[in-house]
Amino acid sequence: MLSGSRDGTALFFGGIQFAMDIVYLLLGFVVLFVGGELTLRGAVGMANSLGVSPALIGLTVVAFGTSAPELFVTIQAALDDKVGLAIGNVVGSNISNLLLILGAGAIIFPLACSKSSALRDGALMVGATVILVILGMMGIIVLWQGVAMLVILVAAMIYAYRQDKASGGGDEDELEELESAPTKPLFIYGYVLIGIVGLVAGSHFLVEGAVGIARALEVPESIIGLTMVALGTSLPELTATTIAAARKQTEMAIANVMGSNAFNILLILGVTSLIKPLPVDPVIQGIDMWVMLGVTLGVMALLFVRNFTIGRGAGLLLVGGYIAYIASIAHRIV
């Protein structure tokens, strides 16, 4: 009788904990979304006030701003020794960016970009993806490799800056994007400060909730990182891309996704590996990294074959690919 009572009590409190984990997860999504939006707007306003080229802002500040949630979640996961969550978050985010987010944007309005931007931004994205696959095959990402990734990123940004200066700056679409950013210093730095606080708090809630749910359902942390956490931290990219597509700022939509994917690898994993070594989960090493590489090369091939345009039909195909990918992950769990 006493044993049954204890089992019932444990079940009751376990249910409460599971419900709290779901609340943490949802709260993390919301706070990350708001924090990412504020950080993005503040960063764009700051760059504008400093006289940085609008074209460069589209490639660097916007890409960094929409990648900020992944940065904070990955660092938090590494600090909490949830390295499967850390690597899974980046790989899953890059896959969702190319399939779900780019696909959703193309369904809203066909996405087109210039050949020069496709070559510049696409080369950076493909190069970063190849680097991650190579490091992944080694089984662990250590400090010196993280430093090398950060050096590569800085070199790429310097090259983009010089190329931008040589071409004479950005276009009207990028200037319109800046109009929604704050212009007064108090609001600029206030947005950035509050946004960063939101990113820190949101990443904590998201990681705590995701890990709790994973444990309760006996799902590997790497799987949670590839799915729920990856999708949650990709909300800023989803917002930026869909809004850009709705406004017919199609080049910015594509550049946002390509830049974010490069930042996710070179900046996020580069910085996180400075904190502690990042071992790569064998499942991610054997399956998901190759999916990421295949999707990256597939999107680039699609752009070149279709005259640098992703139409609604291709968008539906990309979203369908993401649904199939998530279904394959669900099959692994079963």
* Residues 189-215 pLDDT 10s: 888 888 878 877 887 787 778 778 877
Look at residue 87 and tell me whether its pLDDT is greater than 90.
no
Sign of CA dihedral 76, 36, 147, 278: positive
Task: Summarize pLDDT for 97-131 with one digit per residue, the tens.
Answer: 999 999 999 999 998 888 887 888 899 999 999 99
Confidence at 174, pLDDT banded by 50, 70, 90 = very low
Task: Summarize pLDDT for 21-50 with one digit per residue, the tens.
Answer: 888 888 888 887 788 778 777 777 776 777
Task: Summarize pLDDT for 252-294 with one digit per residue, the tens.
Answer: 778 878 988 999 999 999 999 998 899 998 888 999 999 999 9
Angstrom distance (rounded) from CA 74 to CA 274: 12
Q: Does the domain spanning 2-333 belong to CATH 1.20.1420.30? A: yes
User: What is the residue-wise DSSP string for 209-274?
Assistant: HHHHHHHHHT--HHHHIIIIIHHHHTHHHHHHHHHHHHTT-HHHHHHHHHHHHHHIIIIIIHHHHH
Stretch 301-307: mean pLDDT, rounded? Answer: 91
- Conformational region of residue 280, where left means phi above 0, alpha means psi within -120 to 50, and beta covers everything else: beta
Angstrom distance (rounded) from CA 251 to CA 114: 7
**pLDDT value for 175:** 46
Whole-number mean pLDDT of the chain?
A: 81
Angstrom distance (rounded) from CA 252 to CA 265: 20
Stretch 153-164: mean pLDDT, rounded? Answer: 84
